[in-house]
Amino acid sequence: MSTLNETAAATGKPAASRRDLLALYLGIAFSVLFTAVIWFTGDWLKGFPHLPKPAGDASWYYWKLADPTLITHLTAWLFYALHQVVLWGLIWYAQTHVKKYTTGLHRINLITLGANVFFILLHFVQTQLWYDGLAQDVSIFSSQGSVIVLLIWVLLMDNNRRGIFFGQRLPISRRVLYAARKFHPYFFSWAAVYTFWYHPMENTPGHLIGFFYMFMILLQGSLFFTRVHVNRYWMFTQEILVLAHGTLVAIQNGNSLWPMFFFGFGAIFVVTQMYGLGLKAWMRWSIIAAYVLAVLGVYSVRGFGHIWEVVAIPLIDYPSVIVLALLFALGVQIYAWLRPASKLPPQSQQITTVK
């Protein structure tokens, strides 16, 4: 409990309460337990005939029925839509009625936690009875892309707290950051729920860590307007899980690209994420040194002709942060033109170094 409250002690904000932390720990315990349930029951799904791989289809996804029916389509999309609408409604209620952070749980947090548990159980039943998820009708790239945008959005929102490049902030206006924070629950909810219902509850390593990751994001979304929701260690845990997920899926698929995910997301940690953890300078330099040595060690064997893999993900993520910020700036400007009397935060901000 003391570790999770270090952020509050450093910033002078109220610490998370025992009730916040209990909800968090119980949510994590439920996520671990239900991931184990998926692992244990995955063999029950072997009777479902899967879609064979067509030649030359880069978007092929094995875990969908070879012969879907109306009921398999309908259950996947209907249950997904219900889950999505319920969460969006709860988010809207929280933003319009709760509004303020608290050191305890709001009633709406308990309702949201209960709703997510219900839909997790519903998806399990739906998989066991009808199997198919949204994957039958939409590309795997849509699911992957939604999570990628979510992670890029987090980088943008945390610009003022930890910077983007080695603790240095980008000159992003307060209005842009305000808009990013205001609308992020709706997009994050969509990314999590869409990805959650995209996959059947299979027990491959990639599916297991992927569902655990979605459980973590749904748990975080359920704890809105609580202090634990903005705890830097808890937020970082969710960000870094993508490193493990991407690496394990690449290893599972046998495409030998696991270093691209491991070192690519590792670079995001070294360049950006570790500056939000309150580490001492010698700790950061030690991490940078260990990262460089690991890269040199792996690519001395793999071949330095593949070292482009290290920068592939950062070269996508960091320009995308700027593009996303510009899109928000455009949206804010259009809103200001249409509603000049509306209350918006001041446009300017002081750019300093994150310590």
Q: What is the pLDDT of residue 230?
A: 87
| Contact by Cβ (8 Å): 317, 152 | yes
Note the pLDDT tens digit of each residue in 167-207.
Answer: 999 999 888 999 999 999 999 999 999 999 999 999 988 89
A 10 A CB-CB count for 257 gives 18
User: Under DSSP, is residue 303 helix (H, G, I), strand (E, B) or coil?
Assistant: coil
Q: What's the angle, vertex CA 301, arms to CA 299 and CA 307, rounded to 5?
A: 20
Residue 294 tokens read as 């690991």
E-state strands within the chain: none
Pairs from 135-141 (Cβ < 8 Å, separation ≥ 24): 135/61, 135/63, 135/64, 135/198, 135/199, 135/200, 136/64, 136/65, 136/68, 136/72, 136/73, 136/76, 137/73, 137/77, 138/198, 139/59, 140/59, 140/61, 140/198, 141/59
212 pLDDT more than 80: yes
Residue 296 tokens read as 């040199």
Rounded Cα–Cα distance for residues 98 and 3 (Å) = 27
Rounded Cα–Cα distance for residues 143 and 193 (Å) = 10
Q: What is the pLDDT of residue 341?
A: 62
Q: What's the angle, vertex CA 264, arms to CA 260 and CA 268, rounded to 5?
A: 170
Rounded Cα–Cα distance for residues 245 and 213 (Å) = 8
- Tokens 């409250």 -> residue: 5
Distances (CA, A) of 204 to 36, 50, 235, 261, 287: 12, 14, 26, 18, 31
> Residue 29 CA to chain centroid, in angstroms?
19
Report the predicted TM-score, pTM, of the whole model to 2 decimal places. Answer: 0.87
Rounded Cα–Cα distance for residues 186 and 237 (Å) = 21
Mean pLDDT (the chain, rounded): 88
Note the pLDDT tens digit of each residue in 80-118.
Answer: 999 999 999 999 999 999 878 877 788 999 999 999 999
351 pLDDT more than 70: no
Phi first, then psi, for residue 17 (nearest 5°) are: -85, 170
Q: Which one is predicted more confidently, 216 or 352? A: 216
Phi first, then psi, for residue 50 (nearest 5°) are: -95, 165
Closest CA to 19 of 107, 116, 119, 118: 107
Q: What is the pLDDT of residue 12?
A: 42
Across the chain, which distance is largest between two alpha carbons, in Å? Answer: 62
2 pLDDT more than 80: no
Q: What is the pLDDT of residue 8?
A: 44
Rounded Cα–Cα distance for residues 166 and 171 (Å) = 15
